[in-house]
Homo-oligomer: A and B are copies of this chain.
Amino acid sequence: MSIAIAAAPQQVLQQYKQIRTQTEHICQPLEPEDTVVQPIVDVSPPKWHMAHTSWFFETFLLKPHLPGYKEFHPQYGYLFNSYYNSVGSRVQRDQRGTLTRPPLRDIYTFRQHIDEHMQKLLQSISDDKLAALMPVLQLGLQHEQQHQELLITDIKYILSTNPMLPTYSSQSSKQPVKAAKANYLEVPDGVYTIGYQGNDFCFDNELGVHEVLLEDFAVMNRLVTNGEYLEFIQDGGYQDFRHWLDEGLAMVRKDNLQAPLYWLEQEGEWHRFTMHGLQKVDMNEPVTHISFYEAYAYANWAGKRLLTEFEWEAASQVYPPATGNFVENNILEPTAADATKEGMQQLYGDAWEWTYSAYHPYPGFTKAPGAIGEYNGKFMLNQMVLRGGSCATPESHIRTTYRNFFHPDKRWQYNGIRLASK
């Protein structure tokens, strides 16, 4: 799953505290009532996320490695296991939204209990032992960061289903900005090395470093904007079968799709539900909350195509991502590409980029033994790879080799479009 990383206990503890605190920071604006529900099966109750990430530390670190540790509650394992068959039975995923107990305040107590004991573990552990536990510990922290992003997208979805359209946080008034003009940057043909080669943490799905042979292509310098996507809508893009994959067209017709998720037409003008309430669609910002099907159809309509994940990774080698709009910005929505800058933008942050690559194992992929091995491998079918992180991703969590993955119909994540030509 991950490679061992040398680090001083004190440093690790600080990292641990920072990440754990951030989870609670995200949930701070919520009412207890907000933390219970599961309006669609993809969305988990925030209460569940907060408990599940703690369960991970209890199960894989405290119980096996802190002498004398007693589990916080005998039923929390059953309640807050997500999908690890190795660890026993669990609440069915689609039943998470009926669990009103334990109440939110108990979950906070649970988190505090875990944090105190993790501190105890990290303060009492030898350097050797710490080195041995680092892979699992790092996995626990990365795992919590992944759930931080899910917390944001799930909270957004939960609030959006409410006819009162509640606001997650207020936003200082922003100046409309003109987006950088679109152009295409060349990536030469050649052999590119794919996968993680560093010495820090990575997921198992980034391993299996291997070479791929790519033909030359050109890649858009930024993400597709709402304004560009609106042209597709206004050109009848959702109605014209020629742009769509067959299963995408079926979804469009069944769900009567007309625009990205969260878009709402009011008196002839498009608005979108954001973390800061309902706003007019800003035409310079990247389009987001679209399915792979919509990304594909848009690219087809535009006479372009999506990148493969290998092309994306090659492009990120040729045009190394500088920085991006991550969760640390606290904007929680994509922002316009900077019109004053030349070259590649938005490879990192703003919106995950759908690639036309199925989420399959790299050559030589092997699962870790035991429960940890259930982390990634068993999901390697029917899902598409997304790259680059979003405005809800922690900057410390992302890498150019990072492979996110979702089913092609999923829209509730901050997903966007970057085009390739040739």
Contacts and interface: CB of A to CB of B under 8 A. Distances in A.
Nearest to A363: B215
A36 interface: yes
Nearest to A40: B98
Nearest to A293: B381
Contact of A356 (B35, B158, B211, B360): B360
Interface string A30-50: 011111110100000001000
A108 interface: no
Interface string A162-175: 11101000000000
Contacts of A72: none
A364 B308 CA distance: 12
Given A191-B213, A241-B85, A33 B104 contact: yes
Contact of A378 (B31, B34, B246, B358): B246
A161 interface: yes
Interface string A79-104: 10001011000010001011111111
Contact of A31 (B101, B241, B408): B101
A382 interface: yes
Contacts of A382: 247, 382, 408
A211 B408 CA distance: 27
A34 B241 contact: no
Contacts of A79: 163-164
A247 B381 contact: yes
B381 A33 contact: no
B246 A158 contact: no
B163 A381 contact: no
Contact of A97 (B37, B78, B164, B378): B37
How many identical subunits does the complex contain? 4
A246 B379 contact: yes
Nearest to A422: B364
Contact of A245 (B37, B39, B164, B378): B378
Given A91-B163, A163-B91, A245 B380 contact: yes
Given A31-B103, A98-B37, A213-B212, A83 B246 contact: yes
Given A33-B47, A37-B100, A213-B211, A78 B163 contact: yes
B37 A101 contact: no
A101 B162 contact: yes
A210 interface: yes
A406 interface: no
A306 to B, nearest CB: 10
A244 interface: yes
A11 interface: no
Contacts of A97: 37, 97
11 contacts: A32-B103, A33-B100, A37-B37, A100-B158, A215-B364, A245-B380, A245-B381, A246-B379, A356-B361, A381-B408, A382-B382
Give 6 closest A-B pairs by Cβ, nearest first: A358-B358, A39-B98, A85-B241, A34-B100, A31-B103, A246-B378
Interface of A: 31-37, 39, 47, 75, 78-79, 83, 85-86, 91, 95, 97-104, 158-159, 161-164, 166, 191, 210-213, 215, 241-242, 244-249, 292, 296, 356-358, 360-361, 363-364, 378-382, 408
